[in-house]
Structure 1
Amino acid sequence: MERIHIQATEFTPHITFDPSNGLIELKGNSTPHNSLKFYHKMIVNLEEYAIRGTKDLTANVAFRYFNTSSSKCLYDMFKQLDKIKKKGRQVTINWYYSPSDEDMYEVGKDFSELMNLNFNFIELAA
């Protein structure tokens, strides 16, 4: 499993996966033309982390917008994080949202109800 660092673009989020420090960051907009292809490397690395990873994980998630296909990929990532938790490692999701964006807050709540993960909901400064 390798460190991943992807710069944000107009259509894709900033992504960092730092397995040596147990850190994941997803920030920005996610409307790639092919979400499955864009998120594939991240999902594969999480699958490998579920097998070989030893550290607890913290995921800082701060999306402004994501489309339906990105939502499916996020669900797949959270499923991998749930597997990691079941292997005895602590997994925390810090879900950041704008106070003016109730929809993003609700999407985070929906994910938290689908997964057995520790979600913290953090309101961004206005």
Structure 2
Amino acid sequence: MNDFSIPGSQSSPAIQSDWNNGVLSMQGDSYPENSYELFHQVFEWIERYLAEAARPLSLELRLLYLNTSSIKAVMDIFDLLEAAYQEGKHVAVNWYYDKRNERVVELAEEFKEDCTFPFMIVSHD
């Protein structure tokens, strides 16, 4: 399977996929000029993984700031995971945050409210 790695920049998160281990990770800020362009590859990879792999999928997030269009993209990703979870697939989100950044906790908690799949919000130093 084609894994991908998108290097992070000042305005976009680093994104890596790991098909063999069923992990998609994103870290950094997300306020790209074109969030559709940035997240299109992520959607396609998740859709393909959920359709073809008979293994759990885990999203490992270390996102710090998301602009409105990035929030919409992440909501769409969580909608994909929710649909898969309702079909009996094993999906989970682990959102890691720095204890000093309460804004991230609030954002993650807002996303979690709409999700029935396992969704952990984990602090780290």
TM-score w.r.t. the length of structure 1 is: 0.91
Q: Considering only aligned residues, what root-mean-square deviation do their CA atoms show, in Å?
A: 1.3
Q: Do 1:50 and 1:87's aligned partners in 2 also have CA atoms closer than 8 Å?
A: no
Equivalent residue number for residue 100 of structure 2: 100
Give the corresponding residue for 2:74.
Answer: 74
Q: Which amino acid aligns with 1:97?
A: Y
> Partners in 1 of 2:57 and 2:49 — Cα distance?
10
Instruction: Describe how 1:4-83 pairs up with structure 2 within 5 A.
Output: 4-83=4-83
Q: For residues 57 and 47 of structure 2, what CA distance do their matches in structure 1 show?
A: 13
- The one-letter code matched in structure 2 to 1:73 is A
How far the C-alpha of 1:43 sits from its partner, in A, is 0.6
Q: Could you list the runs of 5+ residues in structure 2 that have no partner in the other structure?
A: none
Moved over 6 A (4+): none
Give the counterpart letter for 1:72 in structure 2.
K
State the partner residue of 1:90: 90
How far did 1:80 drift?
Answer: 1.2
The share of aligned pairs that are identical, in percent, is 29
- Please state whether the residue corresponding to 2:8 is helix, strand or coil: coil
Alignment-mate amino acid for residue 103 of structure 1: R
Give the residue type in structure 2 aligned to 1:121: I
Displacement, 1:33? 0.3
Q: Which amino acid aligns with 1:18?
A: D
Separation in 2 of the partners of 1:87 and 1:35?
28
Q: Can you list the C-alpha shifts for 1:56-109, whole angstroms capped at 9, x where unaligned?
A: 011110112111100000011111112222332221211111212211101111
TM-score (norm 2): 0.92
Q: Which amino acid aligns with 2:74?
A: L
